[in-house]
Amino acid sequence: MTSGTKTLNPCHEIVFAALEKFHSNSGRAAAVRDVIAMLDESETTLIRQTYSKKLAAVVSSIMVLLKAKGLIDVRRAGEGRCFYVSNRSPGNIEISDVSSNRQTVLSFVKEAVRHHGRAVRAEEVWNWVADRYSGEKISRHLITRNIISLAQTHDLKRLEISGRGFRGNTFYLPAGLPDEEYIPADESNWLERIAACVRTIWERRSSRVAVDECRPLPVTTGEVRCELYETYPEAVEQVAAKRIINSLLYLSAGEQPFLRKISNSERSSVSWVPAGVADTEIAPPEYVYGSDAERIEEATRKAERLYKRPVNRQEVETQIEGNEFLEIKSISGVARLLSDAAKPMVINKLGGKAVRKISYVGSINGKAYYTADTINLGRARQLLDFERLKSDWEKMTIVESLAGVRKSSLPLMQWGQSRLIESQIDGIETRLKTLRTICEKEDRKGEFAILEQNVGFAAGIAHSYKNDLRKSVAQKYDLEYLSEIELSEGAVGLIPAETVKVLQPFYPMARRLTKEYKIVTLLDGAVRRFPNPKFTSRFSKNPHTAAEYLYDRTALLIYTAIHWGNRFARLQAVTARQELGQIRNPNFIFPLLKDPDFTVRLKAVACLAFLAGDGIASTLKEISQTDIEPNVRLAAEWSELLLEGKPENLQQAFKLSR
């Protein structure tokens, strides 16, 4: 290329072409950086290979040479900035209205200060630019460099806010603005807020030292998180958990840390105290629990030591209440934490599982029991079996049943009730024998002895009743045949839905139930229940296998008749309740129907009305037609109505009047 008089070397030609290219693209004069921007990679490489200086310096020198050759013209803008125009370009090339980076950054700082109303950090300036000038090609690094440069030239004032001492906590203010009016008063940075949370918790704990008479616990990461989210609700979205941990680590590092990290290698937990707090001012590490899971484990262990067996939620809660070291920090309840702690956790990517330090042992009356001794689960199960046995014994109300035996007026029924109670006690005694060893080993001898004594005492009474009555019963009835009869056989159980159906025609509260299982609360133990032999799971779709307990149909009908029946129904029900006790096998009642005393036959008919089983209907029909006593025939007719158990029949039976 020639300029008319001289030939340009390749690098000069490249730069000149770039200048003209810039003119044609933007229509304005170019600064050095604008020319550099027009160079492609090969041209840049060539220039760098040719000259040793930096590219901007080389291009600037080439511009000077081109000007000397008369090929370009120089125009000067504010602050000595040079813009170049090719002499071959049209005459309407303007100087670009672009201030220097420094001026740009200064203007950004001024805008940020105006927005925040105070001195700002470099980060805040960059955030401001990023939010508002997304099209600008100005990097964070450039902003920071120019801010530092502006501070050095006193275009900006640099303010170190005392008492904070954080790195990066330097504020900048344009020259000319008064410091006092622009010093930042609030914590404008999450790091500072997190530090303040630690400070707040620590101060709160330290203030209770005199009251609690114990050294304060160090602050855990979870507590910091809770405090932060509570104090600054926006932190929930803006500050992730990992950032909190990183912030805490940051605050505890460096030459002038704000926090001190306390590691507990045993529990693999980390906690924090303000820097400068000595170990002698903090609670010992064995009291420091890093997570709610650890606290739950310790509370479970303490409860187990106290009760000497697996424990339930309430028992764990009593250990937590009032114990600052074990206070739960999360919003989850103890029940949820226990359940979670008892689940095995995944420890590797292949799905290998490790059991946590609490194990679920079993349940009694719907209450779950846990143990912290996960190695000896067999022992824990046996101890729970003992608790279950005690609960079953109490539920059986054997003593009341024995008292009820004497209330029956018929020797045969008294004998039957005694026999039934005796067999129930035998079952308890068998279970008790299997648990003797574990109770002796686990220092539960006292409780075992008391239960054994009570069971033995009740067994003695039942046995003596049975024997006392044997002779008088044998005189009238076939004792051998009666001894073979399984007395509790024939008990019919009703699931909650069926129970509600029976009660609804009579009990207004039952009609208002929205969920059928709430019948349990409504009846509140007034009607006897027994374990459902078909029970599988509470969550089973089949209601007959989902119900853990069934209502005794006989007890339910008696209850209904007493509460809502007419006089006759009530009398029949009271008689049946008195005579039957827990006998449910109608075969035991049939011999009474042959008694010459009509009052005995009346009682037998009343009993049959509330039982279920083969032969009852036909027997009652026969009685209602053939018995010589009119009242017995009437009672049998009434009983037939009840036998079918249909709600409409029940209503008719209970409302029937003479």
Partner 1 sequence: MNIELLEIEYPEPVTRKIYMSKLMKEASSRTMSIHKAGAMGVYTGEAGVGKTTTAREICRSLEAKFKSENPKAFLGLHLQFGRIDQGNGAKRALRSVYAASGLLLDEYDYDRLPSEELAAELVEHFRTHRIQVLFADEAGLISPEAIGGLVTLHDVAQYNGWPLTIIFIGMDDLAIKLRRRPQVNRRLKEWIYFKHYNLEDTISLLRVMHPYFDGLDETAKEGRTQFEFIHKITHGLPGNMIPFIDRFDYRYQKRKDGKDITVGFLEGIHFVTQESIKQSVNLSRHVYSDGERNEKSIEKKQSKKEKQKV
Phi and psi angles of residue 327, each rounded to the nearest 5 degrees, phi first:
-60, 130
* Interacting residue with partner 1 among 71, 217, 623, 635 (CB under 8 A): 635
Give the strand pairing for 170-174 and 345-346: unpaired
Does residue 525 belong to the site contacting partner 1 (CB under 8 A)? no
> Residue 562, interface with partner 1 (CB under 8 A)?
yes
| Nearer of residues 317 and 637 to partner 1, judged by Cβ | 637
Min CB(649)–partner 1 separation in Å: 21
User: Could you tell me if 157 and 222 are in contact, meaning their C-beta atoms sit under 8 angstroms apart?
Assistant: no
Task: Quote the radius of gyration of the chain (alpha carbons, Å).
Answer: 46
Which residue stretch of 11-19, 209-217, 381-389, 574-582 sits at the interface with partner 1 (rule: CB under 8 A)? 574-582
Structure tokens at 310: 């697996």
What's the rounded Cα separation, in Å, for the pair 351 and 286?
Answer: 32
Q: In angstroms, what is the minimal distance from the CB of 567 to partner 1?
A: 4
Q: What is the DSSP letter of 280?
A: G
Cβ-based neighbours of 406, under 8 Å, separated by 6 or more: 414
In the complex with partner 1, the residue whose CB is nearer, 21 or 633, is 633
Q: Confirm or reject binding of residue 139 to partner 1 (CB under 8 A).
A: no
Residue 371, phi then psi, degrees to nearest 5: -135, 145
121 within 8 A of 170, measured Cβ to Cβ: yes
Stretch that binds partner 1, among 327-335, 440-448, 569-577, 611-619 (CB under 8 A): 569-577
| Subset of 393-422 contacting partner 1 (CB under 8 A) | 407, 409
Closer residue to partner 1 (CB): 231 or 599: 599
Task: Answer yes or no whether residue 568 interacts with partner 1 by CB under 8 A.
Answer: yes
Q: Which residues contact 81 (CB under 8 A, 6 or more apart)?
A: 31, 100
Compose the 353-392 pattern: x for residues touching partner 1 by CB under 8 A, - for all others: ----------------------------------------
Q: Compute the distance between CA of residue 464 and CA of residue 601 in angstroms, rounded to an integer.
A: 27
CA distance 604 to 534: 31
| Binding map of partner 1 across residues 198-217, x = CB under 8 A, - = no contact | --------------------
Nearest to 383 by CA among 312, 335, 453, 334: 312
Segment near partner 1 (CB under 8 A); pick from 149-157, 493-501, 527-535, 563-571: 563-571
Return the structure tokens found at 192: 């500072």
State yes or no: residue 575 binds partner 1 (CB under 8 A). Answer: yes
Number of residues that bind partner 1 (CB under 8 A): 20
Alpha-carbon separation of residue 495 from 48, 367, 535 (angstroms): 92, 21, 11
Cβ 628 to partner 1, closest distance in Å?
4
The helix (run of H) or strand (run of E) holding residue 16 is: helix 10-26
Q: Are 535 and 547 in contact (CB under 8 A)?
A: yes
| CA 179 – CA 159 distance, rounded (Å) | 8
**Stretch 92-131: interaction string toward partner 1, x if CB under 8 A:** ----------------------------------------
> Toward partner 1, which CB reaches closer, 81 or 563?
563
**Position among 177, 571, 612, 617 found at the interface with partner 1 (CB under 8 A):** 571
Cα three-residue angle 362-363-369, rounded to 5 degrees = 70
The binder of partner 1 chosen from 99, 206, 545, 578 (CB under 8 A): 578
- Could you tell me which stretch among 101-109, 182-190, 294-302, 565-573 binds partner 1 (CB under 8 A)? 565-573
Q: How many helices (DSSP H) and strands (DSSP E) are in the chain?
A: 32, 15
- Contact in structure between 620 and 640 (CB atoms under 8 Å): yes
Give least dist CB 476 to partner 1, A: 18
Stretch of 69-77, 331-339, 370-378, 560-568 contacting partner 1, by CB under 8 A: 560-568
How far apart CA 451 and CA 390 sit, in angstroms, is 7
Burial 234-253 (b: 16+ CB within 10 A, else e): ebeeebeeeebeebbebbbe
Say if CB 110 and CB 46 are below 8 A apart.
no
185 binds partner 1 (CB under 8 A): no
**Distance (Å, whole) CA 258 – CA 252:** 6
Site for partner 1 in 594-633 (CB under 8 A): 598-599, 602, 628-632
Of 91-99, 133-141, 570-578, 648-656, the window that binds partner 1 (rule: CB under 8 A) is: 570-578
DSSP-derived secondary structure for 140-180: HHHHHHHHHHHHHTTSEEEEE-TTT--TT-EEEEETTS-HH
Measured CA to CA, the distance from residue 361 to residue 473 in angstroms comes to 47
Polymer length in residues for the chain = 658
Q: Does residue 394 sit in helix, strand or coil?
A: helix
Nearer to partner 1, 351 or 525 (CB): 525
Contact 88, 17 (CB under 8 A): no
- Give the shortest CB-605-to-partner 1 separation in angstroms: 10
Q: Which residue has 């020797």 as its token pair?
A: 411
Interface stretch with partner 1, choices 130-138, 239-247, 381-389, 573-581 (CB under 8 A):
573-581
226/562 with CB nearer partner 1: 562
* Candidates 80-88, 159-167, 510-518, 572-580; binding stretch for partner 1 (CB under 8 A): 572-580
Q: Which is nearer to partner 1, 569 or 589 (CB)?
A: 569
Instruction: Indicate whether 268 belongs to the interface with partner 1 (CB under 8 A).
Output: no
DSSP assignment letter at 93: P
Identity of residue 122: A
Nearest Cα neighbor of 29 from 80, 75, 78 is 75
Binding segment toward partner 1, per CB under 8 A, in 115-123, 292-300, 367-375, 567-575? 567-575
Least distance to partner 1, CB of residue 599, Å: 6
* Closest distance of CB 562 from partner 1, Å: 7
Nearest residue (CB) to partner 1, 327 versus 629: 629
Min separation Cβ 324 and partner 1, Å = 49
Least Å distance, CB 357 to partner 1, is: 50
Contacts with partner 1 by CB under 8 A lie at 407, 409, 562, 567-568, 570-571, 574-575, 577-578, 598-599, 602, 628-632, 635
